[in-house]
Structure 1
Amino acid sequence: MNLQDWKMLSTLYETENVTLAAHRLFLSQPTLTARIQKLENHYGISILLRKRRGITFTPEGEELAKHAKRMLQEQRHMEEKLNNMRDEVRGTLRVGVSNFFAANKMPKLLQLFKEKYPEVECQVVTGWSSDMHRRLLNHDVHISFIKGNYAWKEKKALLYEEDICVASPWDFTWEKLPQLPRVDYFTDEHMRILVDDWWHQNYIEQPNITIHVNQVETCKEMVIHGLGYAIVANLVVRPYPELFIKPIIDANGDPLKRQTWMYYQEDTLQMNIVRAFVDFVQTLDVKAL
């Protein structure tokens, strides 16, 4: 197998879908299928089993896919080591980014970083903060931007804090909140627990959730159009002065806050590209981007 075979098997193993894997690899489905068949003929095994929805790997195919992932990791490490030996800031930086940060902060941050270090390429993956934490633990990324505190014994830097607030298209009183329509959205477990704990400390009634959406950005649009209130981090709704925004206060009388962190492993600072990026981010006022 060669580098392209490793990438193909690793992507198929991750996606469990030939169409999606072909899209990620910039290949046509027939080309991808032909390359799989070529490997099967070479090793004299079946690699994939077709299901009604997607694919699954045979035991032999799974062994090959795991080998491919190990080889890709070794390839990355070798390339990173060679780039580091040049004593230059260049190569590929792999970053995991939570959804809101990816949409609202990361484009400007990367633009500024690449202006300073034009030889750097960035591979960015996005998702829930819990996913970005997992990717960092698995060494799939060098750095993760994460909302909330996760179990982590390595290095992290606090980038900013923001109030958690109720944002509403109309004025409201706290007493009437359970009767008002609420727009809810999928979020990571830490935010969900934080909001749910506050609610049950203050109300006996369940919230009157009338709309549930996938993303906080969609939730914000629902609120702007008068369909209900939402409980969100302040940065989501701060640019909209027409909304009524009130910070949530905890049992001690302090504003309930959510923190955004940069997580990374100390040994990766030996790489010029990671050290340069960490130092660069720490010089910025990320909240103001």
Structure 2
Amino acid sequence: MMEDRDWLILQVLYEQKNITKTAQALFISQPALTARLRHIEEEFGIKIAYRTSKGVHFTPQGEYLAKSSAEMLLKLRQIKENITNMDSTVSGTLRLGASNYFTMYMLPRLLKLFKEQYPNVEFKVVTTWSREVFNLVHNQEIHVGFVSSDYGWQDRRYLLFEEPICIASKDEINIKDLPKLPRISYQTDALIKAVIDKWWRENFSEPPLISMEVDKLATCKEMVINGLGYAIMPSIIVKAAKDLHKVILTDKEGQPLLRHAWMLYHEELLEMNIVKAFVSFVESIDFKKVILDQIK
């Protein structure tokens, strides 16, 4: 009879298309993996896949099973969570997703404070771009998501905070001189990048002088601190850097350009004790005082 891990085996094998990599990913031996695949084949009376020198090739029946594995694993997880939820205590695993920025600077303290109140809760966290977090919440692969951009979420959301976007530099600079000065760019969410690019086009007729491209916002901050160029970034990350000059970006009406941080979730998930407790906790705290003021 099919076991939970059999669906996981099918899912990972379909992603990897390789027996060795699948066994390594699941921390089982290749003989054990092969034995489970044979068991699945015998149960359904089909051939799942063929091994070749170029990897694993699924049969139509095997591909159907593999594509069904995500749905089956989700259903099994929901059943387990619902059973746990029948108890009045707040326990179990809370599945969260957060943008890289939020995870690095805010999520650790938030989870620490929540666990102090609910010690029987464990966390499974996915860190990725805001757009992908949005998709994970939408597909209910996670319970709650934290994003830095508004992608038009139609269910429950809560505004955690908003922060101005600023120009940060080691030395004081004149905004009119920006096109001639070295700028450090970093990978960021597409919508935030669009806001910054729009501001640039409204103020300058020539492109920025990109002198350095880095992967993370934290790396960019260190480059700016060491005087290697200026950067346009969220103000919170540099608020504690007293030796940096900051200039808030404003639109044509003189209003500051803001970056918003949202908590997203499905209302129906509030029926789960663990989700309801977490959402209530986040909405009850003074986010600026408890979380943002801790950023160094």
Considering the TM-score relative to the shorter chain, is it more than 0.5? yes
Per-residue deviation, 1:15:
5.9
Q: Is the 8 A contact 1:47 1:57 kept in 2?
A: yes
* Alpha carbons of structure 1 residues 113 and 41: separation in structure 2 relative to 1, 3 Å: same
2:227 is matched with which residue?
Answer: 226
Query: Structure 2 matches for 1:1-289, cutoff 5 A?
Result: 1-14=2-15, 25=26, 27=27, 31=29, 33-42=30-39, 43=41, 44-47=46-49, 57-288=58-289, 289=291
Change (3 A) 1:107 1:21: farther
What amino acid does structure 1 have at the position aligned with 2:280?
D
Q: Say whether the 8 Å CA contact 2:49–2:56 is kept in structure 1.
A: no
Q: Secondary structure at the match of 1:150?
A: coil
The CA distance in 2 between the partners of 1:89 and 1:80, in whole Å, is 11
Task: Report the alpha carbon displacement of residue 71 of structure 1 after superposing the two structures with TM.
Answer: 1.8
What is the rounded CA distance, in whole Å, between the counterparts of 1:117 and 1:76 in structure 2?
Answer: 21
Number of aligned positions between the proteins? 284
User: Is the 8 Å Cα contact of residues 165 and 234 (structure 2) preserved in structure 1?
Assistant: yes
Structure 2 residue runs of 5 or longer lacking an equivalent are: 292-296
SS at match of 2:110: helix
Contact 1:146 1:261 in 2 (8 A): yes
Query: Does the C-alpha gap of structure 1 residues 224 and 20 become closer, same or farther in structure 2, counting only changes over 3 Å?
Result: farther
Greater CA deviation, 38-47 or 2-11?
A: 38-47
1:271–1:130 CA distance, 2 compared to 1 (3 A): same
- 1:64: how far off? 2.2
TM-score normalised by L of structure 1:
0.90
In structure 2, distance between residues paired with 1:17 and 1:185: 34
Contact 2:48 2:63 in 1 (8 A): no
- Percent identical pairs in the alignment equals 41
Q: Distance in 1 between matches of 2:222 and 2:20?
A: 32
Q: Report the AA paired with residue 184 of structure 1.
A: S
Q: 1:48 to 1:140 in 2, by over 3 A?
A: farther
Going from structure 1 to structure 2, the CA distance change for 1:126 and 1:253 (only over 3 Å counts) comes to: same
Please tell me whether the aligned partners of residues 165 and 247 of structure 1 are also in contact (alpha carbons under 8 angstroms).
yes
Query: 1:225–1:268: structure 2 CA closer, same or farther, 3 Å change rule?
Result: same
Please list every run of 5 or more consecutive structure 1 residues that lacks an aligned counterpart in the other structure. none
